[in-house]
């Protein structure tokens, strides 16, 4: 069973790696000190199980678990943490197990056995049930790999049928999420300018008239001008004037 160890503390990683080395049938295929590095390692090493710290700078363990669902074959997750107050949230994600630090060798073996016994049907159910609070990144699967865009780098989100284009200054990805759900999740970061478009508040630089005589929003970092619907124009102008975008 291939195991990936993810923890921002080097000593905690070393201890888990040593304990895993004493577990029959376990092979440590990699280590990661943060969420984004963990996702890269998951794609490179294809572990069966990820031992995942919850509290980490930047992308936390709960968000890492959610992003892994975009992989064709997501590994089982065993959360590890020094804080018992995350237990309810972790079990709501239906992780294979939840271990409190310092991890006891026998509890680790029990958790690994539990993860290994999961049938494919059970694992699909676990993966389908994972969810948590607001994300720090959006994620898409591109040619079998995960590509992340930080929320703070997004300039606009534009819906087209069942897909949403996530546009940053340097790239675009397509995700299969609804614009409405994204608006609800990131209500304080984006302003709706059209039924099919949300723009990042920090990127709005003003309004201008387009060739058709309609108002369009000017955005920092991209040449694209997104039309503002007549219904939403008063609110957009109000927010620009008030300096809340």
* Helix count and strand count (H, E) for the chain: 8, 15
Q: For position 215, what pLDDT does the model report? A: 94
For the record, the structure tokens of 8 come out as 């921002």
Three-state DSSP at 155 gives: strand
190, β-bridge pairs: 200
Q: For position 15, what pLDDT does the model report? A: 96
Query: Is beta strand 49-53 parallel, antiparallel or unpaired with respect to 27-32?
Result: unpaired
Of 3.40.50.2300, 1.10.1740.10, 3.40.1180.10, 3.40.640.10, the CATH number of 2-129 is 3.40.50.2300
The CATH class of the 137-242 domain is mainly beta
Q: For position 128, what pLDDT does the model report? A: 54
* Residue 55 CA: distances (Å) to CA of 7, 10, 41, 80, 103: 9, 14, 18, 9, 16
Q: For position 131, what pLDDT does the model report? A: 47
For the record, the structure tokens of 176 come out as 């299969």
Rounded CA gap, 3 and 48, in Å? 6
pLDDT in tens, the chain (245 residues): 999 999 999 999 999 999 999 999 999 999 999 999 999 999 999 999 999 999 999 999 989 988 887 787 889 999 998 876 655 455 545 578 888 899 999 999 999 998 887 644 445 555 555 444 578 899 887 776 788 899 999 999 999 988 999 999 989 999 999 999 999 999 999 999 999 999 999 999 999 998 888 899 999 999 999 999 999 999 899 888 877 65
Three-state DSSP at 120 gives: helix
Angle in degrees, 0-180, between the axes of helices 10-21 and 105-117, rounded to the nearest 10: 70
Which pLDDT tens digit goes with each residue over 132-160? 457 889 988 777 678 889 999 999 999 99
Give the start-to-end residue ranges of the domains of the chain: 2-129, 137-242
For the record, the structure tokens of 125 come out as 């159910």
Rounded CA gap, 22 and 13, in Å? 15
Rounded CA gap, 219 and 204, in Å? 5
Taking the model in full, what pTM does it have? Answer: 0.66
């Amino acid at each position: 069973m291939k195991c990936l160890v993810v923890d921002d503390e080097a000593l905690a990683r070393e201890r888990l790696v040593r304990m895993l080395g004493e577990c029959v049938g376990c092979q440590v295929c990699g280590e990661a000190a943060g969420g984004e590095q963990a996702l890269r390692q998951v794609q490179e090493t294809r572990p069966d199980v990820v031992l995942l710290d919850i509290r980490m700078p930047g992308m936390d363990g709960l968000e890492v678990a959610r992003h892994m669902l975009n992989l064709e074959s997501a590994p089982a997750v065993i959360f590890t943490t020094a804080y018992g107050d995350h237990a309810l949230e972790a079990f709501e994600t239906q992780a294979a197990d939840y271990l409190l630090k310092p991890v006891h060798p026998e509890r680790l073996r029990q958790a690994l056995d539990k993860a290994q016994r999961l049938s494919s049907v059970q694992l699909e159910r676990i993966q389908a049930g994972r969810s948590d609070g607001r994300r720090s990144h959006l994620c898409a699967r591109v040619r079998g790999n995960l590509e992340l865009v930080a929320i703070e780098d997004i300039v606009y989100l534009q819906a087209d049928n069942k897909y949403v284009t996530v546009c940053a200054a340097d790239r675009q990805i397509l995700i299969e999420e609804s614009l409405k759900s994204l608006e609800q999740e990131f209500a304080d970061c984006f302003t709706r300018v059209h039924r099919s478009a949300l723009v990042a508040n920090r990127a709005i630089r003003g309004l201008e008239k387009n060739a058709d005589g309609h108002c369009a929003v000017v955005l920092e970092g991209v040449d694209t001008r997104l039309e503002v619907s007549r219904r939403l124009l008063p609110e957009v102008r109000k927010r620009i004037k008030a300096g809340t975008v």
